[in-house]
Each structure stands twice: as C-alpha cells, then as structure tokens.
Amino acid sequence: MRNLQILVVDDDDADALMISEALEQSERPTTVERVADGREALDYLRREGKFAEARRPDLILLDLNMPRMDGRETLAAIKTDDKLKAIPVVILTTSGAAPDIVSSYQQRANAYVTKPFGLDDFESTVRQIDRFYREVATLPGERPLA
C-alpha cells in the first residue's frame, strides 16, 4: 500500500489543520505537507532552499486567496512547468465566484471545490477528494492494477 503524498497550499492555519485531520482519518497512509503561499509552494515543488529534500506530491490542494503569490498565479506556474504540470491540482477555496471557477479550469486545474463552512461538511469534502484520488483516479507514476 503506497503512501499518498499531499501538498496543502493554504495560508489559513485553521483550514490547513482541518484538512490534515480529515486526511489522517484515511484508511491508507497519507503524508501531508503544508506551505502557506504560492512562492513557498513553488520552492517546495522545485526542491529549492529549505525544501531541498521535499518529496514530490501526488496531489496538490491549492487555496486561491493567499498573500505574496496567490493560488491563481501558483496554478499558472505549476501548469506551465514541464516538470510539474502532471501533478493533479485541486482548487480548494472559499470562493464560489464564476470567474474564479472558469479561470481555474482555463489554467488546467484538475478540479474546483468550494470549501464548505461547517466542520463536518468540510472534513467530508476533503475525505471525498482523498477517496477519489486513491480509489478512482490513477495518478502519474502509478500503474493500474491488473
């Protein structure tokens, strides 16, 4: 059973904690790393600076509204980088605005999910994303079972 590597890119400490806790409840091993903005995410993904030993994530959960470098810029940078663009990126944000949704898909987001407000709904949503990428989707580098 392979350990799923998830990178959470979110500046909100409470949301990042709820995501981590929801993923810890998974039946399969999960490693969750978190960075607080797009610049840190790119450093992590490119293994630069303090992230020189970072492991390539299987999945990125990306918030849109962050300081320094927001999720929109981060998504564009990931999806135009030949070494990173195959990593699935799920936008997980509070914004339900149509322009944000359309723009995210135009920038090649793999999914767009609006964060629910209630704790139970939030954790359920994160578990559904996790379940989909574990049980339904085949991730880059994985082989389908024969």
Of the candidates 3, 30, 34, the one whose C-alpha atom is nearest the C-alpha of residue 127 is 30
144 part of a folded domain: no
DSSP string, 74-118: HHHHHHT-TTTTTS-EEEEES---HHHHHHHHHTT-SEEEEPPSS
Q: Quick check: is 145 in a domain?
A: no
Cβ neighbors of 121 (< 8 A, separation 6 or more) are: none
Which residues partner with 101 through β-bridges?
Answer: none
* CATH for 47: 3.40.50.2300
What is the Cα–Cα distance from 146 to 144, expressed in whole angstroms?
6
Position 142 in a domain: no
On whether the pTM is more than 0.85, the answer is yes
Q: What is the pLDDT of residues 94-126, one digit of tens each?
A: 999 999 999 999 999 999 999 998 889 999 999
Find the domain containing 101 and state its range.
Answer: 4-134
Lowest model confidence (mean pLDDT) among 29-38, 42-51, 102-111, 136-145 = 136-145
The C-alpha torsion from 89 through 90 and 94 to 99, rounded to 10°, is 70
Domain assignment of residue 55, yes or no:
yes
Judge whether 102 lies within some domain.
yes
Count of domains for the chain = 1
